[in-house]
């Protein structure tokens, strides 16, 4: 039986793999992108109750008339988790259904265009967005993320779940309501 002597400069596969792995680990931190200002993670896509469901929600907020929402067909439900970076502001928009916004982490400010009043919420609070009302919201923190769970009730089976106002109206509302976007 004859044995071959390995060449002195031969590379061993495990050494090459280890070097490549270490290089990938070291550069991963460098190449890691900044998180999106507002990240949406759908947790439940437009599901429907098996039977007819109707719902009525009444809300009284300081400075606004009573808000009453009735959905004769509230059978479609969608759940989305939003992670909002410090200083990030949602564009002015509305929804085709009612949204229950549960703040799970951080600070959250909700502003209806109707009165431009910033309403602050924190973990454990729930905000009712009756739908078909123009509003924005934002994370007022300088250094902490905000996480909210949004449950849209009465969502249409198809079509957009968020309807943005046009650019010029959004700029006018920012000015009127004192919303600063910090370049995001």
Task: Read off the tokens for 106.
Answer: 């951080």
CATH number, domain of 57, equals 2.60.120.10
Question: Region 51-65: what's the mean pLDDT?
Answer: 87
Give me the pLDDT at residue 160, please.
92
Q: Which residues of 76-91 are buried (b: 16+ CB within 10 A; e: fewer)?
A: bbbbbbbbbbbbbbbe
Is residue 11 domain-resident? no
Using an 8 Å Cβ cutoff, are 89 and 111 in contact? no
Residues 126, 102: Cα–Cα separation, whole Å: 4
The position carrying tokens 């916004």 is: 101
Q: What is the mean pLDDT of the chain?
A: 84
pLDDT tens string 112-135? 999 999 999 999 999 999 988 999
The pLDDT of residue 31 is 52
Q: Which residue has the higher pLDDT, 136 or 20?
A: 136
Asked if residue 62 belongs to a domain, the reply is yes
At residue 14 the predicted structure's pLDDT band, cuts being 50, 70 and 90, is very low
Domain that holds residue 156: 38-177
Is 32 part of a structural domain of the chain?
A: no
Q: 118 forms bridges with which residues in the sheet?
A: 111
Whether 17 is covered by a domain: the verdict is no
Q: Would 33 be classed as within a structural domain?
A: no
Q: Which residues contact 88 (CB under 8 A, 6 or more apart)?
A: 37, 38, 138, 139, 184
pTM of the predicted protein model: 0.78
What's the number of domains the chain is made of? 1
């Amino acid at each position: 039986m004859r044995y071959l002597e390995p060449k002195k400069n031969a590379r061993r596969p495990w050494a090459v793999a280890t070097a490549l792995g270490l290089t990938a680990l070291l550069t991963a931190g460098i190449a890691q992108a900044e998180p999106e200002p507002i990240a949406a993670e759908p947790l439940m896509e437009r599901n429907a109750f098996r039977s007819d469901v109707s719902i009525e929600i009444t809300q009284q907020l300081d400075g606004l008339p009573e808000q009453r929402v009735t959905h004769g067909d509230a059978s479609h439900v969608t759940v989305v988790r939003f992670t909002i970076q410090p200083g990030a502001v949602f564009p002015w928009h509305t929804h085709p259904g009612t949204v229950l916004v549960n703040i799970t982490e951080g600070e959250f400010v909700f502003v209806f265009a109707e009165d431009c009043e910033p309403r602050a919420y924190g973990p454990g609070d729930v905000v009712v967005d009756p739908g078909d009302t123009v509003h924005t919201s934002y994370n007022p923190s300088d250094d902490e993320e905000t996480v909210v769970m949004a449950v849209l009730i009465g969502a249409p089976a198809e079509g957009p779940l968020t309807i943005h106002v046009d650019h010029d109206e959004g700029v006018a509302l920012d000015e009127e309501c004192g919303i600063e976007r910090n370049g995001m």
